[in-house]
Amino acid sequence: MNAATGRADMRTGWSPYAFVAPFVLVFLVFTAYPTLQSIALSVQQTYGPQASRYVGLQNFVGLAHDPLFWKALTNTAVFAAGSIFIQLPCSLGLALLLNKPQVRGRAFFRLVFFSPSLVGMIFVAVIFSLIFEKRTGLLNVLLHRAFGFDPEFPWLEDYVMPALIIAALWMYVGFNMVYFLAALQNVSPDLVDASRVDGAGVWHRFRHVTIPAIRPVGTFIVLLSLVGSFQLFELPYLLLGEGGGPNNRGLTLVMYLYQTGFETGDLGYASAIGWVIAMLLGAAAIMQRAVARGGER
Amino acid sequence: MRDARGVNRPEAHSDRMGISAGVWVILGLALVSSGWILAHPRGAPSGMQLWTYARTHTLNYAPIVADWNRRQADPDRRIELSLIGPGPLRHRLMSGFMSRTPTADLIEIERSMAGEFFAGPVEAVGFLDLTDRIRAAGIDEAINAPSFSPWTSRGRIFGLPHDVHPVLLGYRADIVEDAGIDVSRIETWADFARVLGPLIRDLDGDGRPDRYLLNYWYTNKDTTEVLLLQAGGGYFDEAGHVIVDSPVNARVLATLVTWVCGPGRIALDAPEFTASGNQLRLQGNVVCSLMPDWLCGVWRNDLPGLAGKIKIMPLPAWEPGGRRVSVWGGTMLGIARDSPHIETAWEFAQELYLSADMAESLYRTAGIVSPVRRLWSLPCYDEPQPYFCRQAPGRTYLAHAPYVPRRTSSPFNEMAKEHLQEALIELRGYALDHGVNTEAELLPEAQRLLARAAQNVRRTVARNVFHREDQP
């Protein structure tokens, strides 16, 4: 090995580390350190860095007795259920429909259904606040004129979670449809034809041919929806205001974390909420993996 | 070296160096931009900074700030006025105070933000304790006493009050007088419902009433608080004890539920600052509104269609001889504890807030009456205004200013307000589910719900170690 080759090897040896170094640095400073710091904060009560007191597990005990936390958790779970059991079936249905070669203008409809996800969240919130308004809102006005529906129907008072699920459905159904459309390309046409020849009906072909083929993508979308639902913040915050709407009916876990940490300045309690969210998501991911593996077997 | 198609190509120079040309370009750009930033440091702003969150305040302060700056030879005494939205202002202040990084020298905050800044130990509050300065200058005597209460925490005053914000009742004089109703017959809320009751109408013939007497809704925490305070209720007493479950609160909640549902309904939801609410006001779907002084300015600007149709009267009392005024909102001017210009900031704060010019300009543009009692004799307050059917609203508000209820600055106010509102919402649900329509029938359930709310508030308060430590 001559000297020039040795220098080149050294450069080659160091260069991967040089390339990953910026990421590692940013990760350590902005992810690893705050994560560790949040563990320390979760056992303190703070008012900024100058005023903090060690309180042990008092923050977690407080959460267990905090009705607002339980309300936020329930709301988040309801929204997650709405995402998984309403939004995803709708996305799959649209994908199946728009995957049929005999549907004319498929590309146009795919664009139409996907386009709401291109709209900024702030505009979605403004649009739906106008739609759900009492008396003057589009939905109530139309329903009142068509069916004599109560013009004061309180969407954003008594039916906050359904209103949020509807708004999210409009926004994300097309987005998830694109994933399912991609997954449907994995369905072997030969297998479909063979099952048809064997006498399988529409349902059996869907159940035994389509579902197994799209299962990996479906599992991924369910996980993505679950994580997204547990991170729900912008839509209720913009649509209902900081408080999460009347009686906190739209308060989500992340909104509660934000309120506690950044509006009342109790970073310790907010860290405890953050860790509870992380544990819940971890548990949900493990369960979901287990269910998916069971299905594969 | 072969490319993907297996064709030989000469080895690129950058490959021989171990790093591609793109990396060198990125590295070069990074070095040049970093060098440029280092060579052009942004100097610290000279003079003092004044942050406010309200556009009307900025417009009114600008001439006074310009006049002050003209008179200052020392650039360090000059003031730069900045308008920052309430949300960003709150977050910048909170992070600045907590991390001891620079904020402004003078800062205006709104009442709903105040509690957050008083949540920690009293020595960690980011605003300068002005108590001794206020007393030494006699300002505590000069300003309407209730105006200090939202800015006082654990006996210390952290800001100069900007306003009084009395709440009276604004009513559609055209509708009321066309119906031949004499509002002087109204003394209590019960009179209000009885005397104005005939004005509740189905305007579009669909069989449902469209016009109601009062712009109030059970989901609006602010207006609920206005009515609670008027009745003598609230969340904490002056010693800081939780009074969420007081009998007054229970009675008010029971009455409010009868206002929003059942056969005795008198209220409509026409939220302020919204297009839909303004449309309902213009169409005459709502006859009366809870009207703080600042709302007079807002309506004059946003609802010119109501000019000559609105009059102001005292609020109906909760019982004969009771309080005819309440309070809604408020602003203070504080000095950052870490400001390097504390003395100059204090000098300017007094000039700004005690100025007759500013008081007059604020009244003329925003309808806000001054908390400085010696300025209550300003002639502008007696001028009749065409918008208010030639009434002089300033004088009416000032007549009630000394009687506005006192409020606390507890950091737990907003949380207690939330729990109380939950109780109200659940009480309405109870009324609808059980077909209960009278105050007397609702009272036991109101007491039960408020007891639960008070327990939740007490639990949260008890969790705060800083306040436990500050208790005598």
Min mean pLDDT across A17-21, B147-151, B343-347, B350-354 is at A17-21
Burial class (CB in 10 A: 0-12, 13-18, 19+), B271: middle
Handedness of CA B182, B185, B191, B194 (dihedral sign): negative
Q: How far is A246 from chain B (nearest CA, A)?
A: 6
Residue A144, pLDDT score: 87
Q: Which residues of B148-159 are buried (b: 16+ CB within 10 A; e: fewer)?
A: bbbbbbeebbbb
Burial class (CB in 10 A: 0-12, 13-18, 19+), B298: middle
Residue at B105 is within a domain = yes
Burial class (CB in 10 A: 0-12, 13-18, 19+), A282: exposed
Read off the pLDDT band of A3 (50, 70, 90).
Answer: low
Which pairs count as long-range contacts for B83-92, CB under 8 Å and 24+ apart, including other chains? Answer: B83/B52, B83/B53, B83/B54, B83/B55, B83/B58, B84/B51, B84/B52, B84/B53, B85/B53, B86/B53, B86/B110, B86/B113, B89/B51, B89/B53, B89/B113, B90/A263, B90/B116, B91/A262, B92/B51
CA angle A83/A88/A90 to nearest 5° reads 115
Query: CA–CA separation, B465 vs A215, rounded Å?
Result: 51
**Pair B230, B248: CB distance under 8 Å:** no
Check CB contact under 8 Å for A157 and B219: yes
| Tally of residues, chain B | 472
Residue at B104 is within a domain = yes
Q: How far is A108 from chain B (nearest CA, A)?
A: 35
Query: CA–CA separation, B189 vs B199, rounded Å?
Result: 15
Residues of B in contact with A256 (CB under 8 A): none
Q: How far is A282 from chain B (nearest CA, A)?
A: 28
Of the partner residues B18, B97, B206, the one whose CB lies closest to the CB of residue A48: B97
Residue labelled with tokens 């589910």: B433
Cα→Cα distances B420→A159, A227, B242, B441, Å: 20, 33, 12, 19
Rg (CA), chain A: 25
Terminal alpha carbon distance of chain A: 54
Residue A121: closest CA among A270, A253, A274, A231: A231
Read off the pLDDT band of B4 (50, 70, 90).
Answer: very low
What is the overall mean pLDDT for chain B?
91
**Pair B348, B106: CB distance under 8 Å:** yes
Of the partner residues B221, B276, B411, the one whose CB lies closest to the CB of residue A135: B276
Collapsing DSSP to helix, strand or coil, A99 comes out as coil
A48 close to B (CB below 8 A): yes
User: So what's the ipTM on this one?
Assistant: 0.72
Q: Is the pLDDT at B3 greater than 50, yes or no?
A: no
Residue B387: closest CA among B269, B307, B272: B307
A7 close to B (CB below 8 A): no
The per-residue pLDDT for range A17-63, each reduced to its tens digit, is 888 999 999 999 999 999 999 999 999 988 766 778 888 999 999 99
Residues of B in contact with A150 (CB under 8 A): 208
The per-residue pLDDT for range B306-328, each reduced to its tens digit, is 999 999 999 999 999 999 999 99
The per-residue pLDDT for range A50-101, each reduced to its tens digit, is 778 888 999 999 999 988 899 999 999 999 999 999 999 999 999 999 998 8
Collapsing DSSP to helix, strand or coil, B156 comes out as strand
Residue A1, pLDDT score: 52
The per-residue pLDDT for range B241-299, each reduced to its tens digit, is 999 999 999 999 999 999 999 999 999 999 999 888 999 999 999 999 999 999 999 99
Residue B468, pLDDT score: 64
Residue B453: closest CA among B253, B281, B276, B299: B253
Give the strand pairing for B331-335 and B160-161.
antiparallel
Residues 6+ apart with CB under 8 A from B220: B269, B271
- CATH number of the CATH domain containing B66: 3.40.190.10
* Residues of chain B that touch chain A, judged by Cβ-Cβ distance less than 8 Å: 16-19, 90-91, 94, 97-100, 116, 119-121, 124, 206, 208, 218-219, 221, 269, 275-276, 279-280, 285, 411, 415, 418, 421-422, 425-426, 456, 459-460, 463-466
- Residue in B with minimal Cα distance to A58: B463
Q: How far is A177 from chain B (nearest CA, A)?
A: 35
A15 close to B (CB below 8 A): yes
Residue at B354 is within a domain = yes
Residues of A in contact with B116 (CB under 8 A): 263-265
Q: Is the pLDDT at B352 greater than 80, yes or no?
A: yes
- Residue in B with minimal Cα distance to A264: B116
The per-residue pLDDT for range B421-442, each reduced to its tens digit, is 999 999 999 999 999 989 999 9
Residues of A in contact with B431 (CB under 8 A): none
**Pair B250, B199: CB distance under 8 Å:** no
Read off the pLDDT band of A243 (50, 70, 90).
Answer: confident
Residue A29, pLDDT score: 94
Q: Is the pLDDT at B1 greater than 50, yes or no?
A: no
Handedness of CA A135, A137, A140, A141 (dihedral sign): positive
Helices (H), B288-412: 293-302, 342-353, 356-366, 393-400
Residue B355, pLDDT score: 92
Q: Is the pLDDT at A10 greater than 90, yes or no?
A: no
What is the rounded average pLDDT of the residues B48-55?
Answer: 95
**Pair B269, B276: CB distance under 8 Å:** no
Residue at B172 is within a domain = no
Percent of chain B with pLDDT over 70: 94
DSSP-derived letter for residue A48 is T
Read off the pLDDT band of B21 (50, 70, 90).
Answer: confident
Query: CA–CA separation, A131 vs A2, rounded Å?
Result: 75
Residue B470, pLDDT score: 60
Query: CA–CA separation, A174 vs A172, rounded Å?
Result: 5
Residue B7, pLDDT score: 47
Residues of A in contact with B120 (CB under 8 A): 47-48, 51, 265
Check CB contact under 8 Å for A133 and B463: no
Read off the pLDDT band of B302 (50, 70, 90).
Answer: very high
Residue A275, pLDDT score: 95
Query: CA–CA separation, A140 vs A151, rounded Å?
Result: 5
Residue A290, pLDDT score: 82
- Residue in B with minimal Cα distance to A61: B463
What is the rounded average pLDDT of the residues A178-202?
Answer: 90
Percent of chain B with pLDDT over 90: 77
Structure tokens at B350: 């007094």
Q: Other C-beta atoms within 10 Å of B464: how many?
A: 20
Of the partner residues A55, A151, A264, the one whose CB lies closest to the CB of residue B465: A55
**Residue A241 or residue B195, greater confidence:** B195
pTM of the model: 0.82
Rg (CA), chain B: 28
Residue A220, pLDDT score: 87
The per-residue pLDDT for range A149-158, each reduced to its tens digit, is 888 888 888 8
Residue labelled with tokens 């060198």: B24
Read off the pLDDT band of A293 (50, 70, 90).
Answer: confident
Residue at B297 is within a domain = no
Q: How far is B132 from chain A (nearest CA, A)?
A: 25
Cα→Cα distances B36→A40, A233, B297, Å: 39, 38, 48
What is the overall mean pLDDT for chain A?
88
Collapsing DSSP to helix, strand or coil, B111 comes out as helix
Q: How many CB pairs under 8 A join A and B?
A: 85
Collapsing DSSP to helix, strand or coil, A201 comes out as coil
Residue at B268 is within a domain = no
φ, ψ (nearest 5 deg) of residue B129: -75, 115
- Residue in B with minimal Cα distance to A240: B219
Q: Which residues of A173-200 are buried (b: 16+ CB within 10 A; e: fewer)?
A: bbbbbbbbbebbeebeeeebeebeeeeb
**Pair B163, B359: CB distance under 8 Å:** no
The per-residue pLDDT for range B205-222, each reduced to its tens digit, is 888 899 999 999 999 999
Chain A interface mutation, best of B466, B467, B470, highest count of A Cβ atoms under 10 Å: B466
CA angle B17/B23/B27 to nearest 5° reads 110
Check CB contact under 8 Å for A49 and B94: no
Check CB contact under 8 Å for A137 and B276: yes
Check CB contact under 8 Å for A50 and B90: no
Query: Tell me, what amino acid is at B433?
Result: D
Residue B204, pLDDT score: 84
Residue B18, pLDDT score: 66
A52 close to B (CB below 8 A): no
**CA B90: distance to chain centroid?**
13
Give the strand pairing for B331-335 and A44-47.
unpaired
Residue B283, pLDDT score: 94
Q: How far is A182 from chain B (nearest CA, A)?
A: 28
Q: Is the pLDDT at A247 greater than 90, yes or no?
A: no
Residue A62: closest CA among B451, B422, B461: B461
Q: Is the pLDDT at B173 greater than 70, yes or no?
A: yes
Read off the pLDDT band of B2 (50, 70, 90).
Answer: very low
Residues of B in contact with A62 (CB under 8 A): 459, 463
What residue ranges define each of the domains in chain A, with the CATH number in brackets?
A: 3-58 (no CATH), 61-296 (1.10.3720.10)
Per-window interface: A 190-249 vs B, CB < 8 A: 243, 246-248
Query: CA–CA separation, A289 vs B408, rounded Å?
Result: 52
Check CB contact under 8 Å for B466 and A67: no
**Pair B175, B199: CB distance under 8 Å:** yes
Check CB contact under 8 Å for A45 and B97: no
Dihedral (Cα; B404, B409, B415, B417), 10-degree rounding: 0
Residue at B359 is within a domain = yes
Structure tokens at B207: 């069989």
Q: How many domains does chain B have?
A: 1
The per-residue pLDDT for range B78-133, each reduced to its tens digit, is 999 999 999 899 889 988 888 888 899 999 999 988 888 887 788 888 999 999 99
Domain of B60 in residue numbering reads as 48-164+329-394
**Pair A179, A185: CB distance under 8 Å:** no
Residue at B119 is within a domain = yes
Q: Is the pLDDT at B20 greater than 90, yes or no?
A: no
Check CB contact under 8 Å for B121 and A51: yes
- Residue in A with minimal Cα distance to B412: A264
The per-residue pLDDT for range B146-157, each reduced to its tens digit, is 999 999 988 899
